Structure 1
Amino acid sequence: MKIYLYGGLGEDGTVEAPLSSAVILYLLNYCHPHSNSFHVCFIDQEHNGETVVKVPEACTQNISHQFMNTMDGIDLVLNCSLPVIQDIAAHTVRSGLCCVARYVVQVSHMAAVKKGHTLIDLLGFRAGSVKACAEVSGWTRLCEVELPKAIGGLISTLRDDKPVSMDIPECLMTFELHFDKPPVLHNDDKKKRQVLKDVQTEAEALISACGKEGGPDIVDEFFQTREAVMPHGSVYYRVQTKAEKEEKKFDINTENGEVCRYGCTENKLIKWCARCNDREKLKRKEELQQNRNARMNERNCDEKTTIESQEVLKNGLNVNGDTDLGIGSLDELSTFIKTLTIHDVIYEHVYAEGTSFTVADVILFVYMYTLSESMGFGKTQLLDNAPNIKKWLVHVMGLPKIRQTSLQCGYDVSSMEGCLKGEGLQFPTEFSIPPVTLDVEEDNPEIGRSSKAKQKALKKDVAVVLEKVKEGRIQTEPGEHPCGSNVHMDWTTVPLQASPKCELPEKRVSRKCEQLENLATAVQSLAKPGDVIVDFCSGAGHLGIIIAYLLPECKVYLVENKEESLGRARDRVIKLGLDNVTLYQCNLDYFQGSFDIGVCLHACGVATDLVLQQCLERGANFVICPCCYGSIHNTHLITYPRSQLFREAGISDYDLIVLGHAGDQTEKATELYDQGRQCMGLVDTDRARLAMERGYNVSLCSLQPLSCTPKNNLLVGKR
């Protein structure tokens, strides 16, 4: 199986490549020898302006690879931004750093299991690490978009301009603050109950066996950080002390109006203290940990480094030493353990996503190593101002597999360790935490696997926006389906695998068929032989597969981010024997090929606008049925409103989002139905007007019958 990466052979034998290629090469080495089924093809061409770094020659020594000098025969690959994995047998192309990284782990794990090893833990709880697209998952966005762009830009600036001072990138500080929060522990009640039971049983047995002897030592040992050994990185937890229960060491201020030392005002909080409100507390905590970590300074061999790094972590997390435990005898401890609840079990936030080492840690480690290397591994204020990231790096560097892989890849491990200990020459550029403010109501420095819940549409806000629309003389102009009322298909002539009957329960089949035939007949009215038709957000392929069946002389691409859905579509395509279908597992914006018609059925929220943007940028016709209006929000790719008409009418992004929230209230026989239909139409009018401003003829019509779905608007655009 081939992996296509941006990269060229440097004169010194290194690979000159962007950060995304460096990450995949490191991960292939991490999974070696179980990743031997992959063959890397380096393509030396423009790569979206990403910063090029030198990847050590050693990174490729254990990997089958080649430097390509021709692009012949890889048109399907070049439809997407690299990195890309092409699986010719499965008619599938996978694109995007996180998607490719996950697939490398999955394939390598299948090989590892045969030899008694495991790699699937790298994908985290329920294999969900960096799984969702960047528009949904904060982790995917951080790993795939924000940090590579910020760190690449930082490396370029330091390399070319050598500035005297500069601000630390915002996304890096977001990552730093993420460690201040308690780790997300999935199914935490169940896990903590079992841990609590084990801890109480262990303590009772120890107290019973020791009697009155060894009291202080047993008390101290009880509150030590415990380690649960895992394949790639241990999980650490402890019991909250009595003193901690009585007095919270780090109070969190979330109320507006309280002013912290950094000048938070009534309506705003400084972003870097929005979760702690006093950065000095974190600094004092770090100083205490550094005092306990003196043993980190002696590292003479590989084995000693690994052992001491783990001790550093434990000592840094333990609550013994100078800390008042609040308990002085075994009798007090015996009484105390009976009062414990699951809330007294504290899991330590030692890895990027929380308690477990995942592929996100691998990705972020490569970024931070490359950044440190670009600064000559010197002493820098950047890590001093990001103590949580520094502590995370110390721990990750001490993991045996990371250390082994780093040495295998030719990374300068000793210099990186010296950098983390504050050795080496002082790097001349000063780094500071920027005085960026953040509206409390808008957002917070939070990273997660899924997007925030949709907001509610307040009646007063909807009324205000509708008045603005009226004053701006904006109206929804209903159009007609290209086929008029002749949108029905004879499903009895369609093979089972091309029909939704093969997947959906009987009660849903009729409505789904009605939805599909509305879009399929619209596409038929626009298509001509040889056209390339792209079904964006294709899911299990209901729309794309019926189009491919009806239009065998056209090429059909299914673009979908969810691997499970695309897997079901692949099975259907193979059973039907369709040779005009190619599947792409990637984010919408990673598909960069040319096409003639873009379609989507119920693309959620912002995804509808991404599909429309793809079509407009390539001059393609489109057939789009939107959905989830309440999920629209500004992203790094899309901002609202979309059209000049709405902006000139004074409609703001918040106004359009309010309309979207109200537009989701379209259930029949409810008092808000008519208002919901109006707001839904206005959101789609904004989309239609954007296309019209780009020279399209657009019809905003409805699916027939309206009862086939509450989200029954249809946008049909022709160049």
Structure 2
Amino acid sequence: MIDLHLEYFRKTGLDKKDLVEIPIESYILLVICKYLSQPEIGRDFQINFVQSKIVSEHRDSVVVNIENVGVTFHENELWPATPKYCQLPILTINDWIISGLCGICRRIAKTHVEYSQNPKQILGFKGNTLLAPAEISMWTKFCEVDVIKCVREVLQQENCNTYNIPEDIAKFESHLSQPLKTHNIYKLINNVQKVKISSQQEYNKLDNETARFNFYENHKFAEGFEKTLADIILFIGFHLFDRRIPLDTLHAKLPRINNWYRQIKADDNGELNQICNDLLSNQHCHTISRLIVDQLVVNVPASYSLYKSDTKKLNLLGEKVLTTNQPEVLGILKKVNQLRLDTASIPNDRKINLFDWETVPLEAKPEGGMLPSKRIERKKHQLENLANEVIELARPGYIIVDFCSGTGHLGILLACLLPECTIYLLENKEESQQLAMDRVQRLGLSNVVYFQCNLNYFTAHFDIGVSLHACGVASDIVLEKCIDLRAKFVCCPCCYGKICELDAIQYPRSKIFQQSELLLKEYLCIAHCADQTHDLNNSKTNVEKSHQGFHCMDVIDKDRALRAEEFGYTVIQKRLNPEDCTPKNRLLVGTF
């Protein structure tokens, strides 16, 4: 059974029966379901509208006609359990919970392909369209966050004299002007140009100009040469934009977006456009009126591509390069010393594990997780360090969340060792989650629930939060989730140099560090140095710099520990045992 939970604000219209006011994300998914023939085909598929508990006069909402859509309503006092676990929208398939617009759209598209006799092939090369989560993919973030933010702004904009078109709309125009990039480019050129080449040299030898592939003109769709799920999601958003600000009035300023929009609009005999129009058609309530504005301003970047990696992950406050000049580093660490804090982590003196690896099934060991043989022993040591701490903290009935769980190495081990506890595996990468699910199925475990979502989408209650090498700021998000619920935590951070400020996460973390003389840039420099830890047994390792890196890890973790202690926690800073099982061998154990 597949359950799709969408947010709604209120029923409206004369009889409050067929018209419902919903946010943009719910509208996009409703269109996707209709376009991909859900729930008409295949497995049992139920659309549930869950009433928002947030009341606002300035909502980014649209009123849709659901006369021909089978849905179930849940008013705000009568929420089912599932929507309490994650931020809406949510898709559930048995014990698998997916939150996040693009992840849900991908799963609906996969179900459509699996059960439809004539499926729409919109998942791109090897089914990888929007596969990466929004936290690491510019494309997914653009579809899931940026464009929706633009449409929200346009819907809420009041009539005015001058209006600046949102920056991300202009970026998309610039992106469409870039040359096509795609996998297996020579195969595409052969199919389109009716030639036979397999290298750049052979392409350069094509003497007939008509045989040449125009990389600009053939950038027809958002991701390249073929229409994908990204185009569908973006079109639905732009369809709302078009009702508020007709795109044809911007043809001179946004010509490529206009050409792209018309192409998607006409494709499939106009099916997608017709679904959008049908859902927005009603006699009694017109929520999207044309914006009255004297002048529309568009500033299109000269060169912007969504093909590129997101360089904002390292937030260096406008600095192109974060230098770690040694005299400067020593000066920064001197400021830390002036705080007179005991930052040092303590050795882990545990001599005996609280479980026996011999009794653990193969699938729950690192060997069962498709790890290279040279990594297995090191991974075992990492897992047993965290598992021992969790076993000591856990009680029957506890819910334990393995944040950033990957293929489930830690969470699956805990599920085997603590059968009276429920283990949540939270991972935003679809492929990793699927590997974990396969392992759990082979083990026959019944105490595991899967969450495919970004960390900030997760809202469920839990008792212990664990994370093994959650990257950069992810470790701080995990700790903040635990602090919010006063849950115990066992956290082994990683990639200190990749911390970056988010709306809910600022650095330094604790009041003591915030009130110190440390500048943010200097704090980030310490975090960067914390990644200069290497295997001390390797003859090529700069031992002095590595020891400095270990000290910098302790400094950042002390700041994290102090943050938790401000809320009443007792936090111990430990090291993994043996310490050479990983360069990132620090452990934070917090109890409340």
| TM-score interval, smaller chain | 0.7 to 0.9
Which residues of 2 match residues 299-698 of structure 1 at below 5 A? 337=207, 346=216, 348-374=218-244, 377=246, 385-400=253-268, 403-411=270-278, 427-428=292-293, 430-433=295-298, 445-448=304-307, 451-452=310-311, 460-461=324-325, 463-472=327-336, 473=338, 477-480=343-346, 484-487=350-353, 489-503=355-369, 504-635=371-502, 638-668=505-535, 669=538, 670-671=541-542, 672-698=545-571
- Structure 1: 5+ residue runs without aligned partners? 201-239, 246-334, 415-423
C-alpha spacing 1:56/1:560, structure 2 compared with 1 (3 Å): same
Deviation of 1:481 after TM superposition, in Å, equals 7.1
Distance in structure 1 (CA, Å) of the matches to 2:236 and 2:51: 21
Per-residue deviation, residues 691-716 of structure 1 (Å, max 9, x unmatched): 23333222221110012111111111
Greater shift, 543-552 or 595-604, is seen at 543-552
Deviation of 1:191 after TM superposition, in Å, equals 4.2
Per-residue deviation, residues 76-95 of structure 1 (Å, max 9, x unmatched): 3420111111111xx21111
C-alpha spacing 1:644/1:355, structure 2 compared with 1 (3 Å): farther
Partner amino acid, structure 2, of 1:76:
T
C-alpha spacing 1:189/1:683, structure 2 compared with 1 (3 Å): farther
Per-residue deviation, residues 14-48 of structure 1 (Å, max 9, x unmatched): 22111111111111111126863321011112369
**Match of 1:337, SS?**
coil
Distance in structure 1 (CA, Å) of the matches to 2:502 and 2:212: 38
Give the aligned CA root-mean-square deviation in angstroms: 3.6
Quote the residue 1:10 is aligned against: 12
Deviation of 1:353 after TM superposition, in Å, equals 2.2
C-alpha spacing 1:710/1:118, structure 2 compared with 1 (3 Å): same
In the alignment, is residue 21 of structure 1 matched against residue 26 of structure 2?
yes
**Match of 1:556, SS?**
strand
Distance in structure 2 (CA, Å) of the matches to 1:465 and 1:486: 39
Contact 2:50–2:73 (Cα < 8 Å) also in 1: yes
Partner amino acid, structure 2, of 1:526:
L
Higher helix share: 1
Per-residue deviation, residues 295-314 of structure 1 (Å, max 9, x unmatched): xxxxxxxxxxxxxxxxxxxx
- Structure 2: 5+ residue runs without aligned partners? 198-202, 282-288, 315-319
Quote the residue 2:580 is aligned against: 707
Partner amino acid, structure 2, of 1:535:
D
Partner amino acid, structure 2, of 1:410:
N
Contact 1:598–1:623 (Cα < 8 Å) also in 2: yes
Q: With structure 1 as the length reference, what TM-score do the two structures score? A: 0.70
Greater shift, 662-671 or 595-604, is seen at 662-671
Distance in structure 2 (CA, Å) of the matches to 1:73 and 1:56: 22
**Match of 1:171, SS?**
helix
Partner amino acid, structure 2, of 1:365:
F
Partner amino acid, structure 2, of 1:469:
L
**Match of 1:122, SS?**
coil
- Aligned-pair identity (%): 35
Contact 1:535–1:600 (Cα < 8 Å) also in 2: yes
Which residues of 2 match residues 227-306 of structure 1 at below 5 A? none
Distance in structure 2 (CA, Å) of the matches to 1:9 and 1:714: 50
**Match of 2:277, SS?**
coil
Distance in structure 2 (CA, Å) of the matches to 1:72 and 1:413: 27
Deviation of 1:395 after TM superposition, in Å, equals 2.1
Deviation of 1:106 after TM superposition, in Å, equals 0.5
**Match of 1:552, SS?**
coil
- Kindly name which structure, 1 or 2, has the bigger radius of gyration based on alpha carbons: 1
Partner amino acid, structure 1, of 2:266:
G
Partner amino acid, structure 2, of 1:85:
L
Deviation of 1:673 after TM superposition, in Å, equals 1.9
Q: Which of the residues 62, 70, 75 maps onto 1:54?
A: 62
Quote the residue 1:209 is aligned against: none
Distance in structure 1 (CA, Å) of the matches to 2:404 and 2:40: 30
Deviation of 1:667 after TM superposition, in Å, equals 1.8
Quote the residue 1:167 is aligned against: 164
Q: Which of the residues 147, 154, 178 maps onto 1:181?
A: 178
Partner amino acid, structure 2, of 1:706:
E
Deviation of 1:374 after TM superposition, in Å, equals 3.8
Partner amino acid, structure 2, of 1:105:
A
Contact 1:406–1:413 (Cα < 8 Å) also in 2: no
C-alpha spacing 1:34/1:68, structure 2 compared with 1 (3 Å): closer
Deviation of 1:489 after TM superposition, in Å, equals 3.4
Q: Which of the residues 86, 109, 114 maps onto 1:110?
A: 114
Per-residue deviation, residues 155-184 of structure 1 (Å, max 9, x unmatched): 1233xxx34333322222222322232232
**Match of 1:123, SS?**
coil
C-alpha spacing 1:447/1:336, structure 2 compared with 1 (3 Å): closer
C-alpha spacing 1:462/1:630, structure 2 compared with 1 (3 Å): farther
Per-residue deviation, residues 599-622 of structure 1 (Å, max 9, x unmatched): 111112222222122222222221
